Chain A
């Protein structure tokens, strides 16, 4: 049966069929990969660039970055503390989800974008202490609306930077390329 099937594939109609199947699979694959690269849907279209343009420091809203592992998200009362005082934003339709959340006491459900897998123990503080700035990893937020990763946050990218930072310091290189530094 299989032999006959392959024989059938070799004739023109078969080749066309193979082509169609191949194209279908290929486009499905392309679409699949494309979807993995899309930013997730956020409850609020948060414009980072507007906030950066006002001169607000990263640490004002993400104060954990130089103190511990997580940079943190601002509590919604912190957002509303400013926006409540600005007439334009207080009644803006775009900020209605924030207003609703604050008034109803419900949490806003953000979807984190800069994420590492569960088995990676990432710590912001060590990176800030080593002299890295936010934009070194997160890109230029003054150009972004919703945050997008400027590169894929994979281990090769991490290790690359670790190696460069260590330079000729063998002890530091050992520390920075040690599995136990990130995985435990």
Chain B
């Protein structure tokens, strides 16, 4: 059976929409799997921890995960190879599969920034979007993880609230029953845009970056404007090593992965 991928909602409407606005390039050859991006993202975006049991059920809330796969498992252990680490976050698809399935329009497209948004106050927790995401980039608040007392019901110690001193006031703290995902650090985007507007100029390339790209010790993540052909991210995406995940689904993701190897 052949699948028809030419559904109207998944076809390109115009060349202009191909341009996009914000994009990311991840060099898998440089990624060492060190998890600095994951920690930086969690710290910037008020991503809570869930504890051992829920983490075992696959409920950990991190917005990035670093995938790694094995090759050559059938042969001798000497021949076993690990694929390059692949940090995977929301790909900010232009034709996002998560958007049309949301019954309450909580997963919507930002027309002005060309990002996928998750509107927490609309979300009713159907989790349709997560089921429809081919990248499994969405995470769900199964409990009130952000209220740290919830993660340890046996210990209702008020001292737990000390963790809350560190919450970033620019990012909403999510409650139970809400879907969430990587936002490309939209709070940083807005801050840079506001600053640029106040100074009467455009946002300069490299003026700000996402928390993950900022932390990455190997500089494997580059973030910026992909509609500017001179930006770092556009130049980085230009190489022959570049590809996008699940391009065949016509999701038009905004993250380009550079393959490792020679």
Contact = CB atoms under 8 A, between A and B. Distances in A.
Report if A and B touch in the complex (beta carbons < 8 A). yes
Interface of A: 69, 117-119, 121, 123, 125-126, 129, 171, 174-175, 178-181, 183-184
B172 A121 contact: yes
Nearest to A184: B186
A129 B187 contact: no
Given A119-B121, A121-B187, A184-B172, 7 more contacts: A118-B173, A121-B172, A180-B112, A181-B190, A183-B119, A184-B117, A184-B171
B255 to A, nearest CB: 18
Question: Which of B111, B183, B197 has the most A CB atoms < 10 Å from its CB?
Answer: B111
A179 B112 CA distance: 10
B112 A184 contact: no
Given A121-B172, A123-B194, A179 B120 contact: no
15 contacts: A69-B170, A117-B121, A121-B190, A125-B194, A125-B198, A178-B111, A179-B110, A179-B117, A179-B119, A180-B115, A181-B112, A183-B119, A184-B117, A184-B172, A184-B186
B183 A174 contact: no
A179 B173 CA distance: 17
B113 interface: yes
A69 B108 CA distance: 25
Most buried by B among A118, A174, A184: A184
Interface in B99-144: 108, 110-113, 115, 117, 119-121
B120 A180 contact: no
Contact of A121 (B110, B113, B170): B170
Contacts of B169: 69
| B-side interface size class | 20 to 34
Given A118-B172, A183-B119, A184-B172, A178 B194 contact: no
Nearest to B120: A119
B170 A174 contact: no
A158 B61 CA distance: 32
A157 to B, nearest CB: 16
B172 A183 contact: yes
Contact of B186 (A125, A174, A175, A180): A180
A26 B207 CA distance: 58
Nearest to A130: B197
Given A118-B173, A121-B170, A184-B183, A178 B121 contact: no
A153 to B, nearest CB: 14
Interface in B145-188: 169-173, 183, 186-187
Contacts of A129: 194, 197-198
B173 A175 contact: no
Contacts of A125: 194, 198
A125 B196 CA distance: 12
Contacts of B111: 174, 178
A117 B115 CA distance: 23
Contacts of B110: 178-180
From B112, B187, B190, B198, name the one whose CB has the most chain A CB atoms within 10 angstroms: B112
A121 B117 CA distance: 14
Interface string B195-216: 0011000000000000000000
Nearest to A70: B169
A174 B183 CA distance: 19
Contacts of B171: 184
A171 B170 CA distance: 25
B6 to A, nearest CB: 27
A175 B112 CA distance: 5
